[in-house]
């Protein structure tokens, strides 16, 4: 099942649950004669007034009485209490994905990614870093980028292990998700595996699904570029396609790596190097022990 279907399944379950609870409450309340009479009168008024295209005070009063009676009878709401009022748990508003659907999609993507809990920029304690002032500036710059219109389309975070690159990545991913952007987090290793699988796959839909999310996700995070085992000509081509397509489509991409830009040119090729090194990339080098996490 693809991510969208999985997310819709959750949303549909929410809706069915809300409908079912409301129906149960209504049936329970209708066992009370007084309530049943009031409810029938209310509904027939709703229908006749709706036909005339207006509502009046009388109806409002009747509705209030119904609610009061429900309280007295100790019965919950007879209208479905949807988790999302915007789309009433349908997942779409005017044919567009509702924020709640995007949140579900992101939840699935994050749990699939294996990156664990994301981090809010607000909760970063800078005193755990050596060189806290500089780190703080970097975090502020990238938080602003997450909320920008992406004139800079890519972020390249380079530096040794233990410099907190992945931690920063989790903050950024969290920020995008808060903005309702469908966000994919993946290790370079997993992405290269998916590309190889896609290449070998005979089923056209599966073939597309395997790399589609990397091309189309509103934001893509590639963690630890350079640690994938086999950077063959094939995976290099895929990597180029993904990076290049995303730049052309103005979709932001974030890369973390232990490699320097010069290493990228050596380990991959000139095309990938030039896409990453161009002026539309924010390049941040975590260097020296100044930026290491304190023990």
Q: Which residues in this chain contact Zn ion in the complex, by CB under 5 A?
A: 84, 86-87, 98, 100
The DSSP output letter for 97 is E
Tokens of 40: 């029938």
User: What's the count of helices (H) and strands (E) in the chain, helices before strands?
Assistant: 11, 7
Q: How far is the CB of 87 from Zn ion (least distance, A)?
A: 3
Q: Classify residue 129 by its DSSP letter.
A: B
* Comparison of 163 and 183: residue with beta carbon closer to Zn ion: 183
The residue among 29 and 87 lying less far from Zn ion, judged by its C-beta, is: 87
Closest CA to 234 of 191, 266, 184, 187: 191
DSSP track, 226-246: T--S---HHHHHHHHHHHHHH
Min separation Cβ 102 and Zn ion, Å? 9
Report the nearest approach of Zn ion to the CB of residue 4 (Å). 14
Closer residue to Zn ion in complex, CB, 14/192:
14
Q: Which residues contact 121 (CB under 8 A, 6 or more apart)?
A: 139, 143, 171, 174, 175
Supply the minimum distance, in Å, between the C-beta of residue 96 and Zn ion: 10
Closer by beta carbon to Zn ion, 84 or else 142: 84
Nearest partner of 212 among 189, 180, 254, 182, judged by Cα: 182
Of 84 and 124, which has the nearer Cβ to Zn ion? 84
CB 293, min distance to Zn ion, A: 39
Tell me the CA distances in angstroms from 134 to 41, 140, 150, one per residue in order.
69, 10, 23
């Amino acid at each position: 099942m693809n991510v969208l279907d999985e997310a819709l399944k959750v949303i549909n379950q929410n809706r069915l649950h809300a409908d079912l609870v409301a129906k149960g409450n209504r049936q329970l309340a209708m066992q009370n004669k007084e309530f049943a009479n009031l409810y029938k009168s209310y509904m027939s008024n709703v229908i006749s007034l709706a036909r005339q295209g207006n509502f009046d005070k009388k109806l409002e009063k009747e509705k209030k009485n119904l609610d009061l009676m429900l309280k007295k009878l100790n019965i919950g709401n007879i209208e479905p209490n949807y988790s999302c009022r915007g789309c009433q748990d349908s997942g779409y508003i005017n044919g567009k994905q509702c924020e709640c659907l995007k949140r579900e999609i992101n939840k699935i993507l994050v749990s699939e990614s294996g990156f664990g809990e994301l981090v809010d920029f607000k909760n970063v304690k800078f005193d755990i870093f050596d060189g806290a002032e500089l780190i703080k500036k970097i975090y502020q710059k990238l938080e602003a980028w997450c909320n920008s219109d992406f004139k800079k389309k890519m972020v390249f975070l380079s530096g040794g292990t233990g410099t907190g690159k992945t931690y920063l990545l989790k903050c950024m991913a969290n920020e995008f998700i808060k903005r309702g952007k469908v966000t994919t987090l993946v290790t370079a290793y997993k992405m290269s595996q998916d590309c190889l699988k896609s290449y070998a796959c005979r089923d056209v839909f599966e073939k597309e699904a395997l790399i589609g999310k990397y091309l189309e996700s509103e934001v893509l995070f590639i963690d630890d570029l350079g640690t994938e085992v086999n950077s063959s000509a094939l995976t290099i081509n895929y990597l180029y396609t993904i990076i290049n397509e995303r730049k052309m489509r103005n979709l932001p991409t974030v890369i973390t790596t232990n490699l320097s830009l010069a290493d990228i040119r050596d380990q991959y090729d000139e095309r990938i190097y030039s896409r990453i090194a161009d002026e539309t990339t924010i390049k941040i080098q975590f260097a020296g022990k100044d930026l290491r996490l304190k023990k």
